[in-house]
Amino acid sequence: MAEIRLETLAHRYSPGGTYALKPLDMIWRSGGTYALLGPSGCGKSTMLNIISGLIRPSEGRVLFDGQDVTAFDTGRRRIAQVFQVPVIYRSMTVGQNLGFPLVCQGVPAAHRRKRVEAIAERLGLTGALNRPANALTADQKQLVSLGRGLVRDDVAAILLDEPLTVIDPQQKFELRRILKEINAEFGVTMVLVTHDQTEAMTFAEEVIVMNTGEVVQAGSPRDLFERPLTRHVGSFIGAPAMNFLPATAQGGAAVVPGTGLSMPLPEGAGSALSLGFRPEHARLATADAILSGTVTRLWFEGLDEIIAIRHPAGEIRLRAPAGTGLVPGDTAGIALDPGRLRLYLDDRLMA
Amino acid sequence: MKTLYLALKYLAVTLWSAFVIFPFLWMLSTSFKTSNAVTGGATWLPWAQFEPSLAGWKSLFGGAGGINIVKPYINSVIVTGSASVIALVLGTLAAYGLSRFTFRAGPLRNGDITFFFISQRIMPPIVLAIPFFLMLRWLGLLDSLAGLILVYVAALMPIAVWVMVDFFNTIPRALDEMAWMDGCTPVTTFFRVILPNVLPGLVVAGMFCLIFGWNDFFFAFTLTFTETQLLPVSIVALNSSVTPWWSLSAAAIVSVAPLAVLAFVVERFLAKGGLAGAVR
């Protein structure tokens, strides 16, 4: 349960090579939930391995509660990790698995048993304590991994490296709920690595979006949804992705030709402009439509329908309550609250 | 249909067993024969077909025309046993290192180093005979158990490394990393977490070492004179101008026995599933 601070942290796997992780600064509060989100190879696993001490960063420092742990071995960092593929001490029972960190610390057997029993009870593993750990299902193994972090009362943080990837959808939901509960109950800092935006957005209080070794945006799920700092974030977060239409400068405004989409243009802004808005923020309209086009496709999503509309400026998607009655080929118009419109220059948010 | 399949299966197994067991039965009956019984055509049943004699067995323990094989036997057990244990311990440690940590010796990387170990078994042993002889002489260990053990360790360790590297590679690195996070030192990680998972590998590598060590004649022959004899050498010494089939058969039985018993026990152990599930 520690505050994790990353100071000008960066890593290159070979001296003078390209950055696997570009310099970054970050503070994660004690007891917080954080998600590192990005496609594979974006540097999120590198970051996780630096925190756990499996990789020594080539630049910068890692601090736990103000203490510089950059030079500490993994064993001294008091970290627990749940791996992507369930890893377990196969030669031991469930109980021995849970107690192993305490064995390594030399905790007396009596105290150890009490802690193990308490944690097993909390995780619903009491009945399995004396069973070989190998016989557990994948989601139970992940629980045991989590439990190994919880038995030690000094754990600094629990790192979750795509822990739900190989779990059945049913148990996935359950496990995610348990993770949240455990975080609230034990106040343990949790860092989740994932490439699944839903997982990141529902789990973490702060999501760190990464791409090609760089932190693109760090913020609350709402921030990421409302104000994506780059077009990449806008496309990556949210389903369907954010709409982007190329815009041109016309008398102090950025305008998408042939539509009513327009935003005031700051002084000296260049040429590669685009306007973006969320499919969720647009609505179907006839009278006050700011653009209209031909419906090309429809997706049914329970209460909602996703409607794709073709316009000369590009394809637009919007989320509308189901039952619109539209079919491909119809003409549809959309309206949008101007406050929801975002202006991007060279793929970066301007306003 | 199923019964027919079963019947055919058992028939095949029975035929194969007979084929495998026959030489042993032949050896056993020959070991109780005399010169006349051996040359007098194929006979099987003692008393009924030939008069059994203990001469062959007696000659193994210093009887007439024989050699006492007790001491060479004990020597063989000591040399093979200690060399196998040492090779297994060193080889397993080396294999773990090669599987887990990055090494560089000049241009050589982990894979090359592993191959270097294995390559020791590629050349014919005769190539090593003179170097080994010179080295042992320099150490003053010619014709001694210690010298033989050293040589056997060198010969057996590549086998242990080769088998164990593969076994360690099947164990996910995440297991080591997890143990480090739990506060294990690399040494306790190896002994408490990793080693229990490679028990089948240890058994396999140990069997290989014991079989190769026990069966070796070449080094035992070239590096010893009179003081220290190993079993294969003394069995060959039993031979003379008139081949003593009876004592050779008896010797063959006692020399094969320990490996046969070992194979039986290990097979039981592996088949019982005592080790199944330890990996994966």
What's B140's domain CATH number?
1.10.3720.10
What interhelical angle do B245-271 and B2-31 show, nearest 10? 140
Contact A104 B193 (CB under 8 A): no
The answer to whether residue B193 is domain-embedded is: yes
Mean of the per-residue pLDDT values of chain B? 88
In the block, tokens 């609230």 appear at A184
Residue-wise pLDDT tens digits, A206-246: 999 998 899 999 999 999 999 999 998 998 888 889 999 99
Q: The tokens 């329970």 sit on which residue?
A: A302
- Identify the bridge partners of residue A111 per DSSP, sorted by sequence position: none
Residue B5 has pLDDT above 70, yes or no: yes
Fill in the DSSP letter of residue B198: G
Neighbours of A115 (CB within 10 A): 19
Same domain, B40 and B99: no
Read off the pTM: 0.78
Q: Is the pLDDT of residue A169 over 90?
A: no
> Is A83 an 8 Å CB contact of chain B?
yes
Q: Is A80 on the interface with B (CB under 8 A)?
A: yes
Domain ranges of chain A: 4-231, 241-349
Q: What is the ipTM of this complex?
A: 0.79
Query: What is the count of structural domains for chain B?
Result: 2
CB contact residues (below 8 A), chain A span 93-112, against chain B: 100-101, 104-105
Within a domain: B61: no
Q: What is the pLDDT of residues A53-104, one digit of tens each?
A: 999 999 999 999 999 999 998 888 888 999 988 889 988 999 999 999 999 8
Give the chain B residue whose CA is nearest to the CA of A101.
B182
Going by pLDDT thresholds of 50, 70 and 90, the confidence category of residue B104 is confident
Predicted confidence at residue A51, as pLDDT, reads: 93
Domain span holding position B116: 70-271
Asked if B213 and B143 sit in the same domain, the reply is yes
SS3 (DSSP) at B114: helix
Does any CB of chain B come closer than 8 Å to the CB of residue A319? no
Residue B181 covered by a domain: yes
Say whether both B129 and B250 belong to one domain: yes
- Same-domain status, B149 and B255: yes
Cross-chain Cβ contact B183/A145 below 8 Å: no
B277: in domain? no
Q: Is the pLDDT of residue B1 over 90?
A: no
Residues 6+ apart with CB under 8 A from B223: B132, B133, B136, B142, B143, B147, B148, B151
Collect all residues of chain A within an 8 Å Cβ-Cβ radius of residue B193. 89, 91
Q: Which pLDDT value is given to residue A166?
A: 84
Query: Which among A207, A204, A201 has a CA at the least distance from the CA of A179?
Result: A204
Could you say which of A75, A87, A91 has the minimum Cβ distance to residue B196?
A: A91
| Cα–Cα dist A56/A11, whole Å | 8
Q: Is the pLDDT of residue B249 over 50?
A: yes
Chain A environment of B174 (Cβ under 8 Å)? 83, 85, 87
pLDDT of residue B278: 42
Both B155 and B31 in a single domain?
Answer: no
Chain A: closest CA distance from residue B175 (Å):
6
Sheet with A291-301, strands from edge to edge, namely A282-285, A331-336, A291-301, A304-311, A314-321
Query: Considering only the top CATH level, what class is A4-231?
Result: alpha beta
Judge: domain A241-349, CATH 2.120.10.30.
no
B60, part of any domain? no
**d(Cα B214, Cα B82) in Å, to the nearest integer?**
11
User: Over the stretch A120-133, which tens digit does the pLDDT of each residue have?
Assistant: 999 989 999 999 98
B217 domain-assigned? yes
Whether the Cβ atoms of residue B197 and residue B278 lie closer than 8 Å to each other:
yes
**Residue B59 falls inside a structural domain:** no
pLDDT at A268 over 80: no
In a shared domain, residues B85 and B29: no
Mutation target among A78, A90, A116 for the B interface, most CBs of B within 10 A: A90
Contacts of A54 in chain B (CB under 8 A): 177, 180
Residues B82, B48, single domain; the answer is no
